[in-house]
Structure 1
């Protein structure tokens, strides 16, 4: 049978044979190896490729398949994602050249199969295949994919570095660039700088990689100094300025960011969309309102990232009108994403706009942008606004629940006082075999703290110490969980255990210190709270407004009038904390509890912020305690004008008049309450006994629940 070249084949051949049949026919009869490579060019499908390979193997024998054909099959298999067959074809004894080894290892790295890539490299070393300038950079790419700063990754990187130096590639430009990247990702910026300083030749990638390492480490000053040195030899490109702008955003270095912005304009780099978004993100992070708006209005490439940045900026400054306006304009300019909807619903949560949030919920379902990420944001939104009905319905509609959505629902229950429901949800997660993570256990601890279930809270603490000690060390939420455990001991009345646990927390932030101060205050230990406050300042932790509020409250509950007044004075003049309504309320309560009613009233009348019901309520309670009728009536009148439907204030004013035996006025207040259908809800308490939580109201038991320790 004669063989015709493909360009002179008669048409009847194509009419009688399929393309695959023709290829197999040619594979069977072709004897000259120089004509074999074009065969595989016809194959575009994996199944066809396997049939051609099998035909060649059967007809010619594996020992006669040339390197060029083997390489072609390897390439086509890798393009089809069939790495197993690619390695099988590559295993031919003839395929021992460096280029082929680099190719097959690179393919595994590109597909994320790092372990197999290292295995192939080990085999390459065992066979003694010569390395070239691409081999070690490919291995460094594999090391970079391992990620993290673990000891194994660092040791692997150092080992490859030593081998490369030994083989004479220690000063190779391409290798050094990838080696610096490996050290930078492992957090060994000093090692990367050593490689950088020893390089005989540096290109733009070298400088940018080193600058990026400093930015990732947080050494922004070193990054900018290196940038200034770099400009003597070479000008930056858009990648370099993006890295620098990212550093300015992270460190809120607005002046340096403005300089980079000017450099970008001067060197014609502002046309790049990513650069524009980086500049926009810089001004947003630095809260530079005017520059943010002006730059956004002048952008000629506003994409999804641009709109998300500006919407997030308006959300951070609580400009809800601009958030809504930006969201509507964005729909005509760019593609909406889940991140967009998450930013908008977060703004509605801050503003308390329930209806707009519900409308956005419907919109997300309609346009098909509803996933677990947005569902979690909605759960948080409904929780903050107290709409538990919508939260329950949404959680029930989520088909593929995961730990994140379940944690959001537990948080929703805890925030709105449904601690028992949070515990019940945790039981269901356990029954489903879900291993609880740090966030879920933090919510469980908060639920037990709300119920005063000390022993159950201790059980969670013991479980964490026994099972999740390593995870806690590696987790960013470690301190938050430790603070929750601290609050649990405080709220359950075990202040001594709380103090012992507080002393064992290694890295305390302002929230942890404030929790301990508040704990001492609620237990009437004002002097201890002041001592902890001084210790906090001595260790360099700057107090915030919540810290000052907790300390004022501690002084109030302990009757430390002079100390409380000193705290109020120092918060403004020493720590530059502007007093808010809550601070004034604590000060009025402090003076009122000590009988200084006139001084308390004078402070209210001189207040810069307008007094609210909380301040008048504190003064009314103090006037009742000390029997000051005039101050009490004055405070009561102001109180009922502000909150005419607050049954608690009616009750408090009624008790003040009853203590003065003014029964006619008491009867009038009671009639007013009945006419408005106001009824005070009874307070309740709960107690834990033998793993069960019992709740009580005055006169009888309200509920009892089985709450055995889960661990």
Structure 2
């Protein structure tokens, strides 16, 4: 017991013992009703069971107290004192109750229990603990109520050590299995975030107390041990006690969290069986479960049958419609709430405001804003945060700033985080960081919710590193979302090693972390490392494989064209399914299309119950890129006629396919191309860089350079691909000077060229015989833009020299190349030798070409033709005999004409 008292250093040491008989006797003259009560009061009748169970008013209790004092009955029988003490507790006059206790000469255990209860009810938990310590020191025998009340005080004080000592005493004296004591100890451990200890207490002995079962099930779910909680509920249903109205809400919440729809339906059946579904709390939990699982029809069916509804019920069904995307129904229910004068709280308002986060519902958003202002809910910070978020999502960032400025003295970390997130989503990174500095200056700590938004908007490594340092300092890296955003930021900045290092430091990686890292490798050209990471993830236990991970897996397979691996992943995810629906259909279609397996892509597409824009676009692009022009056009027509939106990627793919029609039927290709151009103008895509570039390329294939230029001029902000496409169009049609003028315009616009651009520029020089300019642009690649020339660039320069007849200079240029010349370079020189009938250099070029491409017939044929042109027939025969000896056959020529 000394150990108990030692924990009581800061607690009060004694009660005030003040006589108050005079204060009671000097009460004002009682009312007529009280007087009647006074004159008819019989002290012994007061001890009857009916009198004990009655709830007396405070005035009646004081009259009884006065009468007992006047007639000397108060201290003649301890039961009178205890009953009076209990009545003061019931009347919530804790001060008088404590004074009565101080006047009792020899209080029994019931008296002590009552005073501990009284102190708990008045939230004087420290005094309650001190009273227990005094009681234990008095030598009285404690009972289960004593331990239960004292444990309640420990729970309120979060005094775990005191609770453990209490439980040890209860265990010693045989009260540990009492439901009141046991549930109190479970609550104490749960409040101190020690679920394992709470479960150990629960499992000490079999328990038939429903309060203990409810406490441990609810605690498991609150501590994210949902599976444990559901298993405990199953055990509860197999024996005693039966679940009650306090059990079901927690279980429904866990089923919704885990998306265990079928299990939730079983629990719903049990609630009906035990007659608890009519309870408003249980009914609300059922509505919330169906809504969160996406079955809004079932939710509204249950909601309509509820005999009574509260604000939580209405909010749950409104939130369900918002989650489903049925914003009109959510707003209609909110209007019905107002019509019926139902209570509306901040949770209801925030849910409805999230429904208005659609540009088409701006009018409704403004109306709700006015209503919120009128009802006074506008002063609530949560509501203002929702308004800031709403206006940022509909693109009205200025209105978000206005709401933020209205906060005045209500500013907090959450409000700042909401506004910072809004700025990040709007791309105003400078404003976001300016607001972050202001937050620091006001002595506030940033809310963790804004950190991922900041990281997602950062594209400068130095700024990202500074944010990383702050995160290390504040210790927020333990949050999965923050860690995931951090390594995503590094991968976006091209620092894959740093990104992977942070990824490895995450102790318990969830599916989002794995999917983000796999996607980072894939998007930055390290798809092989992504495949290795996929295999590693598949070996990890307790990882949830969902559509996010499936998309990341299949993107890596698509990038490498690993059809076999993609099929294996497809099979793995099919085995994870509980129903017959196509899981991740869009990702599957995209993978099969990019890997060239259009038969499987079409099969998956046909099995999808709902065709979305992504799956249609993937299949159209797959057909187009694999030469199935007719199929691509047919599916494109279906896409348009079905009313689905068409994106720029799909249109670009179709334009590329139509451009290839010119090889077989130029007339049909031109007609379809013009029709597509008209559709593009109607959709408003002609000004986008990707579609504009595809239009330029299509018209270039038809040889219509005027329309190429028109298509290019329609692009609002040409990117490097747009400029390069226009340069190549001029270069390939012998308009070298025009191509170089476009290149100069590109430089003036501030767009930096890439290696493909310089291929077009050097091609333009070769077609126009601009040798000096060719050398100049080749040097400019390294000097001005830091681009190292590759085989194609050197081949273009050889072509420049070869077309100008400078074959010896071309040979010297090849031998002085900083990289080893490939077959493309020597083949270009060989072709020039054929044009200029240079046998000697042609032989050198042919030997080098054949050495690099021994199985190709091109080198032999070219050298044979050169010798034939100058009449060296013996050499021709010799070359053909060499081809026969090596088994190489000349491929027959063919033509579209």
Q: TM-score range by the shorter chain?
A: 0.7 to 0.9
Shift of 1:499: 1.5
User: So what's the TM-score if we normalise by structure 2?
Assistant: 0.61
Contact 2:287 2:317 in 1 (8 A): no
State the match for 1:302 in structure 2. 509
Q: What runs of 5+ residues in structure 2 fail to find an aligned partner?
A: 1-243, 250-265, 291-295, 576-582
Q: Deviations over 1:53-102 (max 9, x none)?
A: 99xxxxxxxxxxxxx98898677666555455566568x9x98x978766
- Report SS of the residue matched to 1:333: coil
- Is the deviation greater in 600-609 or in 445-454? 445-454
Counterpart secondary structure, 1:279: helix
Deviation at 1:621, TM superposition (A): 1.4
Tell me if structure 1 keeps the 8 A contact 2:589–2:605.
no
Q: Classify 1:184/1:374 alpha carbon distance in 2 versus 1 (closer, same or farther; 3 Å).
A: closer
Write the distance in 2 (CA, Å) between the matches of 1:187 and 1:463: 34
Q: In structure 2, do the counterparts of structure 1 residues 442 and 300 end up closer, same or farther at CA, with 3 Å as the change threshold?
A: same
* 3-state SS in 1 of match to 2:539: helix
**8 Å CA contact 2:356, 2:390 repeated in 1:** yes
Q: Matched residue of 2:478: which SS?
A: coil
User: 1:153 aligns to what?
Assistant: 361
For 1:683, what is the secondary structure of its paired residue? coil
Is contact 1:192–1:210 with CA below 8 Å preserved after alignment?
A: yes
Q: Is the 8 A contact 2:566 2:591 kept in 1?
A: no
Structure 1 residues 414 and 649: CA distance shift in structure 2, 3 A = farther
Asked if 2 retains the 8 angstrom alpha-carbon contact of 1:441 and 1:460, the reply is no
Would you say 1:213 and 2:390 are equivalent positions? no
CA–CA distance in structure 2, aligned partners of residues 143 and 666 of structure 1 = 80
Q: Give the one of 744, 757, 761 matched to 1:547.
A: 757
* Aligned counterpart, 1:14: none
Distance in 2, Cα, partners of 1:349 & 1:44: 43
CA offset digits 1:654-676 (Å, max 9, x no partner): 21121221112212222333442
Deviations 1:524-550 (A, max 9, x none): 111111121222222222211111111
Aligned to 1:61: none
CA spacing shift, 1:496–1:615, aligned 2, 3 Å: same
1:669 aligned partner: 879
Shift of 1:613: 0.8
Matched, 1:529 2:739: yes
Does the 8 Å contact 1:514/1:546 carry over to 2?
A: yes
CA distance in 1, matches of 2:556, 2:300: 50
Q: In structure 2, how many angstroms separate the alpha carbons of the residues matched to 1:504 and 1:515?
A: 14
Q: Secondary structure at the match of 1:610?
A: coil
Q: State the alpha-carbon separation in 1 of the partners of residues 472 and 527 from structure 2.
A: 32
> Matches of 2:322 and 2:526 in 1, distance apart?
46
Q: Quick check: 2:245–2:276 contact (8 Å CA) kept in 1?
A: no
2:444 pairs with 1:231: no
Counterpart for residue 654 of structure 1: 864
Q: Which residue of 1 aligns with 2:335?
A: 122
For the 8 Å contact 2:699–2:708, the answer to whether it is kept is yes
What is residue 684 of structure 1 aligned with on the other side?
895
Alpha-carbon distance change, 116 to 415 in structure 1, aligned in 2, over 3 angstroms: closer
SS of 2:785's equivalent?
Answer: coil
Give 2:832's aligned residue: 622
Alignment of 1:261-300 (within 5 A): 261-300=468-507
Asked if the contact 2:554–2:588 (Cα under 8 Å) also holds between the matched residues in 1, the reply is: no
Supply the distance in 2 between the matched residues of 1:628 and 1:580 (Cα, whole angstroms). 26
- For residue 537 of structure 2, what is the aligned residue in structure 1? 330
Q: Which residue of structure 2 lines up, in the alignment, with residue 361 of structure 1?
A: 567
Asked if the contact 2:692–2:714 (Cα under 8 Å) also holds between the matched residues in 1, the reply is no
CA gap 1:227/1:454 in 2 versus in 1, 3 angstroms: farther
Question: 2 CA distance for matches of 1:340 and 1:105?
Answer: 30
Maintained 8 Å contact 1:361/1:378: no
Residue aligning to 1:16 = none
Q: Is the 8 A contact 2:766 2:803 kept in 1?
A: yes
Task: Give the number of the structure with larger relative contact order, counting CA–CA contacts within 8 Å between residues 6 or more apart.
Answer: 1
Q: CA deviation at 1:181?
A: 0.6
The aligned runs of 1:314-393 (5 Å cut-off) are 314-316=521-523, 318-319=525-526, 322-333=529-540, 335=543, 343=552, 347=556, 357-362=563-568, 364-365=570-571, 368=574, 371-383=584-596, 390-392=597-599
Bigger mean CA deviation after superposition, 402-411 or 569-578: 402-411
- Residues 25-64 of structure 1: pairs in structure 2 closer than 5 A: 45=268
> Does residue 508 of the first structure (1) align with residue 706 of the second (2)?
no
The whole-number CA distance in structure 2 between the counterparts of 1:360 and 1:83 is 38
Deviation at 1:162, TM superposition (A): 3.3
Structure 1 CA distance for aligned equivalents of residues 313 and 555 of structure 2: 52
Change over 3 Å in CA distance of 1:647–1:538 after alignment to 2: same
Tell me what 1:400 maps to: 607
Give the Å deviation of 1:318. Answer: 4.8
Which of 129-138 and 211-220 deviates more?
A: 129-138
> Residue 684 of structure 1: SS of its match in structure 2?
coil
How far is the alpha carbon of 1:516 from its aligned partner?
1.1
Residue in structure 1 matching 2:781, options 556, 565, 571: 571
**Greater Rg, structure 1 or structure 2?**
2
Is 1:451 the equivalent of 2:661? yes
Task: State whether residues 280 and 306 of structure 1, in contact with CA within 8 Å, keep that contact through their aligned partners in structure 2.
Answer: no
The change in CA–CA distance for 1:672 and 1:155 in structure 2 (over 3 A counts) is farther
Structure-1 separation of matches of 2:245 and 2:620: 63
Match of 2:370 among 141, 146, 162: 162
Alpha carbons of 1:275 and 1:495: their partners in 2 closer, same or farther (altered >3 Å)?
same
| Rounded Cα–Cα distance in structure 1 between residues aligned with 2:338 and 2:615 | 48
What is the match of residue 404 of structure 2? 196
Deviations 1:442-494 (A, max 9, x none): 33322221121554445445544655656445x9x953233222211110111
* 2:389 pairs with 1:181: yes
5+ long unaligned stretches in structure 1: 1-36, 55-67, 384-389, 686-695, 697-711
| Residues 341, 374 of structure 1: 8 Å contact kept | yes
2:731/2:767 contact within 8 Å kept: yes
Q: 1:542 to 1:138 in 2, by over 3 A?
A: same
Q: 1:463 to 1:205 in 2, by over 3 A?
A: farther
8 Å Cα contact 1:645/1:678 also seen in 2? no
User: TM-score normalised to the size of structure 1?
Assistant: 0.75
Distance (Å, rounded) in 2 between the aligned partners of 1:173 and 1:346: 42
Q: Residue 307 and residue 172 in structure 1: after superposition, are their counterparts in 2 closer, same or farther (change >3 A)? A: closer
Taking a change above 3 Å as real, the CA distance of residues 306 and 187 of structure 1, as seen in their structure-2 partners, is: same
Q: How far apart are residue 520 of structure 1 and its match?
A: 0.8
8 A Cα contact 2:826 2:845, kept in partner: yes
How many Å apart are 1:323 and its aligned residue? 4.0
| 288-297 or 641-650, which deviates more | 288-297
**What's the secondary structure of 1:301's corresponding residue?**
coil
Q: Give the equivalent residue in structure 2 for 1:12.
A: none
Q: CA deviation at 1:212?
A: 0.6
**Aligned residue among 779, 801, 805 for 1:591:** 801
Q: Distance in 1 between matches of 2:864 and 2:366?
A: 78
